[in-house]
Chains A and B, each alone.
Chain A
Amino acid sequence: MGILVNKDSKVIVQGMTGREGASHSRAMKEFGTQVVAGVTPGKGGTDFEGWPVFNSVAEAKAATGANVSIIFVPPAGAADAVLEAAHAGIPLIVLITEGVPTIDMMKAVQEVKALDAASRAGGGQGIRLIGGNCPGLVTNGEAKVGIMPNRIYEKPGRIGLISRSGTLTYEAAKLLNDAGLGTSTTVGIGGDPVIGTTFADVLPMFEADPDTDAVIVIGEIGGADEEAAAEYIAAHMKKPVVAFISGRSAPAGKRMGHAGAIIMGNVGTPESKLAAFGAANVPVADTMPQIIDLVKQALKL
């Protein structure tokens, strides 16, 4: 049920023994995720709170059959950690780390895409990177590979959620939860300029997912990912999509926290995003709670 991760996903944590890695490994386990091992170079052969720790992703994969890796490695080594997982053949890699240099991400994303294409050409399932600077992903009731608070996912449902912003993902998931709608899968794609997976990459998965009835896209100023998503929706989506754009009052030229949240020239303005969604007949909520009303209208609930 849901997309990308489920109760059968076997997850390793790169950087498990660090502060963030440790606390989120515990929270993922509490959620019910099958966390099977940690990877910390130099600590191979040790045990961390009951989990075996390996020196490399390849060793961890060979020993556990892991098919997902979540990365909590600091920025300087984060892109390298992605490449290690990709070359070890982990089909789903989730990079949580914030502040990875953009050039490192350019190189890593390109290499992951080449490995993905080679894997698919050889009949494999491909390799996908989610993030960096993202909260991860959750298939409600099954598995969380991320850092979202567990309790906003009390009620599994049939709404797919894709977001560039971590906190707004939480906000939307909670609103859906409280409205009794719940989520199928939540995918936080991250707010950086160069990320592994975009809205337009995730939309076809939700379109094909029998457990998702409608999709919410939470975008923000900067870049043209929302415009690309709108184009894809207009051309290919049969399921209803509802959007929200954050930072509509942000001034041009100022970077709003996220490295990607900046209006440069005429690119990345809220007007351009609203116009694109308008042209694709995607309703855009003015406020977060209004998202729920629009979803209900779209599904005639």
Chain B
Amino acid sequence: MKLHEYQGKDILRQFGVNVQDGRVAQTPDEVRQIARDYGQAVVVKAQVHVGGRGKAGGVKFSPDADKAFENGEKILGMDIKGLTVNKVLVTKAVDIDAGTEYYVGMIVDRNEQSFTLMASAEGGMEIEEVAAATPEKIIKHRVDPVTGLRPYEAREVAIKAGFKGNLNKIADMMVKMSEAAFARDAVLVEINPLFVGPDGVPLALDTKFEIDDNAMYRHKDLADWRELEAEHPLEIEASKYGFAYVKLDHGNVGVLGNGAGIVMTSLDVVNRAGAKPANFLDIGGGAKADIVYNAIKLVSKDSDVRAIFINIFGGITRADEVAKGVIQALKDGILTKPVRMRIAGTAEDEAKALLAEVNSPLIQMYSTMFEAADEAAKEANASEAK
């Protein structure tokens, strides 16, 4: 789960990180009030789950309260990469030129089988840009998952990265960020910029924080932070059914299968067949007819979908259960688009018999995933051409 800047900052603050003061506003009047309370220049920052807010005009410096109101009006309701800005964070402005901006972050690293701590003197930029242009400017260090990050390690990394200022306090901020990452099951946490002012004291000006979805069960206090409106409506519905579902742009073939690997390969096969997958939908293992029924219901609601490709390799999953789900969807009038499917494995013959009984042109079964995908692609492209 991705957190907003203000939420990530709340967590860091709880772990003792020195975070720039700021409050959340949902109306321009609230923005003005916060600016008045602070009695100084503020920055109004859009709170949306996408990068590049600044470039999109979602972050604005405001020298006084009236300008803050004006900027609040501009930013609230703004569309940034398809997401509407419903909240802004109003923070005290900092004279960046008087100090230095650094980057620190921790990310789950498959290769290290732990977190990797990253630090760079190139603060204020997206770390991916730094990594692409000047990888030598990022210092990396594996964090031991059992001991966590220790102060001397953090100091070493800060020194190697060329950080100037109060090194003990900077290292302490990194240690506290690491404590927050472990305690809150982060998969990613960044403080960027980490601002070091003329007094040498570090201050977190912005943060990214993403929590491991598998660990949400032990962070029930953060469950309210999940914002369904920031997700695609079909993804929200899918989460109710417990499907792994991802809506894909510009697709015309709905794709569903049993298992992440087979669904990923199904997407590849649809592409090869000359059509575009509209979604990734994994119904999981051992799905019964009702789950298949719901999956078809979900995919059929997507107006981009012109045909459906079902790819099942049944181990625990029974082919006849899949067929029953599809047939029920047809009978209930939910299934109106052609379904081209390949179901191999357990109870394949029973499935064929059930489908033969129904004998609808909307449902066809093939013996390989390629034939099924080709037919689904053909149907989808023909339907679009009309």
Q: A-side interface residues toward B, CB under 8 Å?
A: 23, 75-76, 99-104, 106-107, 109-111, 147-149, 163-171, 174, 191, 193-194, 218, 220-225, 228, 246-251, 254-261, 265-266, 286-289
Contacts and interface: CB of A to CB of B under 8 A. Distances in A.
B133 to A, nearest CB: 12
B346 interface: yes
Interface string B178-208: 0000100101000000000000000000000
A191 B260 CA distance: 9
Interface of B is mostly: mixed
A76 B217 contact: yes
Nearest to B217: A76
Contact of B260 (A147, A170, A258): A258
Given A171-B262, A191-B260, A287-B269, A101 B214 contact: yes
B114 A106 contact: yes
Interface residues of B, number: 54
Nearest to A108: B145
B260 A261 contact: yes
A196 B342 CA distance: 34
Interface string B54-89: 000000000000000000000000000000000000
A248 B268 contact: yes
A261 B345 CA distance: 25
B280 to A, nearest CB: 6
A189 B344 CA distance: 23
Contacts of A246: 261, 264-265, 268
Nearest to B109: A193
Contact of A99 (B214, B262, B370): B214
- Name which of A111, A170, A221 has the most chain B CB atoms within 10 A of its CB: A170
Contacts, number: 155
A107 B263 CA distance: 31
A194 B110 contact: yes
Nearest to B264: A247
A166 B259 CA distance: 7
Interface of A is mostly: loop
Given A110-B145, A247-B264, A167 B277 contact: no
Q: Which 7 A-B pairs have the closest CB atoms?
A: A165-B261, A257-B260, A167-B259, A149-B315, A167-B262, A101-B215, A247-B264
14 contacts: A76-B217, A101-B212, A102-B215, A169-B261, A170-B313, A174-B344, A193-B108, A225-B110, A257-B259, A257-B263, A257-B264, A258-B261, A266-B128, A287-B272
Contacts of A221: 264
B237 to A, nearest CB: 17
B282 interface: yes
Nearest to B261: A165
Given A149-B315, A164-B261, A167-B257, A249 B277 contact: yes
Interface string B211-230: 01111011000000000000
Contacts of A266: 128, 131-132
A166 B261 contact: yes
Interface in B126-168: 128, 131-132, 144-146
Nearest to A218: B261
A259 B108 CA distance: 11
Interface string B342-370: 00111000000000000000000000111
B261 A167 contact: yes
Nearest to A165: B261
B111 A102 contact: no
A225 B282 CA distance: 23
A32 to B, nearest CB: 17
